[in-house]
């Protein structure tokens, strides 16, 4: 009889401990508490100076466009550099909807550090493009959303990122 009382007491105490832990345990650490974030940057073409300086020409219609540009906070030459924009786009009709057409943004600010992958297979080469964000790394792990590119100048693009973080970030 005594062993039965000890067993019931142990089960009761274990049940109470599980309930109390479930009610009063600390929440897991989450670096980003907001599921939606809007960011705004500018993509600048590299400025070449000196005797070899020449205007940047658009790629030929049958060639690949590979680029490596600077990502800044503002459109001015003196704006702080916060990362880079890189990409590989094949504008040829047979590859126009290829999964290889991707733009990578690498961002390093006080608040965020990581990269964002933007799918560029639906480019229409207009002054304003709305493209899909298909993932990221670092602070942007598993992010989804939209990237709106608007050409403000011949050498400057304004990019607005509308990011949606997954529940696990």
pLDDT in tens, 30-41: 454 568 889 999
Q: What is the pLDDT of residue 161?
A: 94
Q: What is the pLDDT of residue 146?
A: 93
Supply the pTM of this predicted model: 0.66
CATH number (domain holding residue 81): 2.40.480.10
Per the structure, the complete domain to which residue 100 belongs is given by 31-46+60-164
| Residue matched to tokens 């403000």 | 152
- Within a domain: 13: no
Q: Residue 22: beta bridge partners? A: none
Q: What is the pLDDT of residue 105?
A: 93
The tally of domains found in the chain comes to 1
**What average pLDDT score do residues 44-72 get?**
66
**Distance in angstroms (rounded) separating the CA atoms of residues 83 and 60:** 27
Q: What is the pLDDT of residue 169?
A: 45
Residue 10 has pLDDT above 70, yes or no: yes
CB-CB contact of 119 with 131 (8 Å) = yes
* Torsion region of 50: left, alpha or beta (phi above 0 gives left; psi -120 to 50 gives alpha): left
């Amino acid at each position: 009889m005594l062993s039965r009382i000890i067993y019931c007491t142990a089960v009761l105490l274990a049940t109470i401990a599980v309930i109390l832990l479930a009610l009063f345990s600390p929440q897991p650490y989450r670096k980003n508490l907001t599921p939606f974030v809007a960011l705004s940057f500018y993509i600048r073409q590299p400025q070449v100076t000196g005797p070899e300086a020449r205007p940047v020409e658009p790629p030929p219609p049958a060639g690949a466009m590979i680029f490596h540009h600077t990502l800044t906070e503002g459109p001015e030459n003196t704006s702080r550099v916060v990362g880079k924009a890189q990409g590989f786009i094949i504008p040829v009709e047979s590859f126009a909807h290829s999964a290889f057409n991707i733009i990578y943004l690498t961002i390093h600010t006080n608040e965020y550090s990581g990269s964002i992958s933007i799918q560029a297979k639906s480019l229409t080469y207009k002054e304003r493009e709305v493209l899909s964000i298909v993932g990221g790394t670092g602070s942007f792990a598993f992010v989804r959303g939209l990237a709106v590119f608007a050409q403000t100048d011949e050498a400057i693009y304004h990019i607005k990122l509308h990011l949606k973080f997954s529940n696990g970030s």
